Chain A
């Protein structure tokens, strides 16, 4: 069984990325996978107010995930936060938290804003990839980058990077994962649908491989921004 867009089972859509695109932010990035585009801006560490939110033991990470009104393929997306966007903000936060050393910034906050001007499928994964580049660009201490991709079961076959078309096929299972490429640890694992244990394991393996490729793109993006520094100094 072939995929609707003739990709191989472990082949991702076309990926483009760019770092440092928002001058006012401390770190920023664009991550494009297929027709999904995510922009991430990182501000901080900075003062946190109101004061009761401050934690004297460690800094706070705040994520905001937002789909723009015109981003979908069909109806206008209602602007503002929704149950869905709040959930995704939360899982993004949890996916990125393990790599950050927040103990270094007591009483402070790191803000991540993820905006999606165009969405197809795999928005939370694109958001996490963009946010990871932006965090590194902001010069924060990180154990590792975070790479993320959606895997799943399409027509009973484990595949990587589902497109909207594949997502809408009856019986498709959608599993967004986030991976620390250095160790292969998972920081995000959600599952929508029903899947056999063996298929799940197979899908995650495919996802991990795809994440390594994404990590190479993330690395290259960051290095390209500073290429000239390398030549000169």
Chain B
């Protein structure tokens, strides 16, 4: 019978033994060394029955399939666009996956996306060599114009979005801004200039204070104070 050596939700560091015995399963961020399951990342342990995994608290974005990210066009090549992804690797957006309209082989690709343009795109594939393919052919994917981009810690993205988007909708409703959060930690905010600033501050506050309980309440009162309007929590738009 195996023995779990740590508590659920405990913070562990690399090299720490998590469990002893052969009937435990090593999940993400862990590995097996003989009869031990060992942490290989700094993070919070999640014990799910016999399966152990680590939820990372820090680190750069690592591209995953089906993630929706915000990227910046950094190069235009024969077959499409190269996109900066806020990770160690650039992604490739092929001409075929860029728009639903037909693009002539000789067409000037800057007409569609120019250097420096930000786009919301979905990752269709990541190879072992970290070649990333993007697509723009899905609902909600588009080029971003206007507004501003801020960078946040990738691991805080789920907190900014909230349960079923509750957190980001609250900020949207309160400030009237349009907000898109990319899984790679880039956030696009567009609205009235003064409201944009409030939204930026709110997102930064969520990022900074995400680990202190009562976050939703604090963000709510912050938004109410700065916009001077009543904020409704939990309404998903």
- Tell whether, in the assembled complex, residue A143 and residue B11 are in contact, meaning their CB atoms are under 8 Å apart: no
Residue A105 is within 8 A (CB to CB) of chain B in the complex: yes
A-B contact pairs, 30 of them (CB 8 A): A26-B58, A44-B88, A47-B88, A105-B88, A105-B130, A106-B128, A108-B88, A136-B42, A137-B58, A138-B58, A138-B60, A140-B41, A141-B40, A142-B14, A143-B14, A143-B31, A144-B15, A182-B17, A182-B33, A218-B13, A219-B13, A222-B11, A226-B11, A226-B44, A228-B211, A228-B212, A230-B9, A230-B11, A231-B213, A232-B212
Q: For residue B154, which residue of chain A has the nearest CB?
A: A139
| Smallest beta-carbon distance B183→chain A, Å | 15
Residue B56 is within 8 A (CB to CB) of chain A in the complex: yes
Q: For residue B213, which residue of chain A has the nearest CB?
A: A232
Q: Which of B10, B60, B89 is most buried by chain A, counting CB atoms within 10 A of its CB?
A: B60
Evaluate whether A107 and B9 lie within 8 angstroms (CB atoms) in the complex, with A137-B42, A182-B38, A233-B44 already known: no
- Tell whether, in the assembled complex, residue B88 and residue A226 are in contact, meaning their CB atoms are under 8 Å apart: no
**B residues adjacent to A (C-beta < 8 A):** 9-11, 13-17, 29, 31, 33, 38, 40-44, 56-60, 87-90, 128-130, 155, 211-213
User: Which B residues are CB-close (under 8 A) to A106?
Assistant: 128-130
- Tell whether, in the assembled complex, residue A181 and residue B42 are in contact, meaning their CB atoms are under 8 Å apart: no
- Tell whether, in the assembled complex, residue A222 and residue B15 are in contact, meaning their CB atoms are under 8 Å apart: no
Number of interface residues of A (CB under 8 A): 39
Q: For residue A145, which residue of chain B has the nearest CB?
A: B15
Residue A99 is within 8 A (CB to CB) of chain B in the complex: yes
- Tell whether, in the assembled complex, residue A144 and residue B11 are in contact, meaning their CB atoms are under 8 Å apart: no
User: Which A residues are CB-close (under 8 A) to B41?
Assistant: 136, 139-142
Cα–Cα, bound, A182→B43 (Å): 18
CB < 8 Å neighbour of A44 from B11, B14, B60: B60
Against B, the Cβ 8 Å flags (1 = close, 0 = not) of A159-180 are 0000000000000000000001
CB < 8 Å neighbour of B57 from A108, A143, A218, A229: A229
